[in-house]
């Protein structure tokens, strides 16, 4: 079994390596999730979401707030990798670009078209039927036999799920547990929207300085300010549980 450097935070094994190494791992398949701070504070209230995080093969430490808190209080440091940084590296990787076997799961037709257009302009030969519009899933039962059947038929190497946090991870775990083969299932949510221009553009320096939250709040304060204000509870949560599983 391949050795992977991980660091346990809140009972979750976060990958602790370079972005390119994460891309290389995904070339062999597996479930990747990118939990943000606002979602992490709900793991006690949503066991199915927590289970999906623990089911994942790769958990990226996307939350700059979590990384700052952890690195301030602990000797073993976590290397923060944002979902945006990962997708940038993933789409630019020469091995990934050689394949046309990408399949997208999108929330709405507008996002689906923007995502397809972006990939085509980036050099991917992706057909329009390699995008699936997800229905509204029940929070306590995120299953999709229709999607499962389509993926089984098309056998894409990479499945990129562009849905909201708390749902996409459960869907990814459902696919991982029920598919007959092992594609890379990439749950990076709205991160692709920063590349397509559908969300606030985050410059590389802003992402590296953990300021992605600020750009989101400036663009849509009504949505993001309450969300990130709530995420401040993560400090108490991490101080209380540290590496331990909080459930």
What local confidence, expressed as pLDDT, does residue 211 receive? Answer: 52
Average pLDDT for consecutive 10-residue bins of the chain (247 residues)? Answer: 76 94 95 88 88 95 84 87 91 89 94 94 92 92 96 97 92 97 94 74 56 56 58 68 69
Question: Three-state secondary structure along 218-239?
Answer: HHCHHHHHHHHHHHCCHHHHHH
How far apart are alpha carbons 148 and 129 in whole angstroms? 15
Burial 155-178 (b: 16+ CB within 10 A, else e): ebbbbbbbbebbbbbbbbbbbbee
How far apart are alpha carbons 22 and 29 in whole angstroms? 11
Name every residue whose Cβ is closer than 8 Å to that of residue 54 and which is 6 or more positions away in sequence.
11, 12, 13
What local confidence, expressed as pLDDT, does residue 1 receive? Answer: 40
Say if CB 225 and CB 217 are below 8 A apart.
Answer: yes
Kindly report the backbone phi and psi dihedral angles of residue 148, in degrees, each rounded to the nearest multiple of 5, phi listed first.
-60, -45
How far apart are alpha carbons 177 and 161 in whole angstroms? 16
Angle at 140 between CA 244 and CA 169, to 5 degrees: 60
Spatial CA neighbour of 87 closest among 29, 22, 156: 22
What local confidence, expressed as pLDDT, does residue 163 receive? Answer: 93
What local confidence, expressed as pLDDT, does residue 12 receive? Answer: 92
């Amino acid at each position: 079994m391949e050795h992977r450097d991980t660091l346990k935070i809140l009972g979750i094994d976060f990958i602790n390596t370079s972005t390119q190494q994460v891309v290389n791992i995904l070339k062999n398949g597996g479930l990747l999730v990118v939990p943000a701070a606002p979602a992490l504070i709900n793991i006690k209230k949503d066991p199915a979401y927590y289970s999906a995080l623990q089911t994942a093969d790769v958990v990226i430490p996307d939350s700059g707030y979590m990384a700052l808190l952890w690195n301030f209080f602990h000797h073993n440091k976590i290397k923060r990798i944002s979902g945006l940084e990962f997708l940038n590296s993933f789409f630019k990787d020469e091995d990934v670009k050689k394949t046309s076997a990408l399949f997208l799961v999108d929330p709405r037709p507008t996002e689906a078209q923007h995502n397809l257009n972006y990939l085509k302009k980036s050099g991917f030969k992706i057909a329009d039927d390699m995008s699936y519009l997800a229905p509204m899933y029940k929070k306590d039962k995120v299953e999709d036999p229709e999607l499962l059947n389509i993926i089984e038929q098309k056998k894409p190497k990479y499945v990129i799920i562009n849905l909201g946090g708390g749902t996409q991870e459960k869907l990814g775990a459902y696919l991982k547990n029920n598919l007959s083969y092992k594609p890379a299932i990439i749950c990076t949510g709205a991160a692709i929207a920063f590349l397509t221009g559908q969300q606030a553009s985050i410059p590389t320096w802003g992402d590296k300085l953990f300021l992605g939250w600020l750009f989101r709040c400036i663009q849509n304060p009504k949505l993001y300010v309450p969300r990130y204000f709530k995420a401040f509870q993560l400090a108490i949560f991490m101080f209380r549980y540290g590496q331990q599983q909080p459930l």
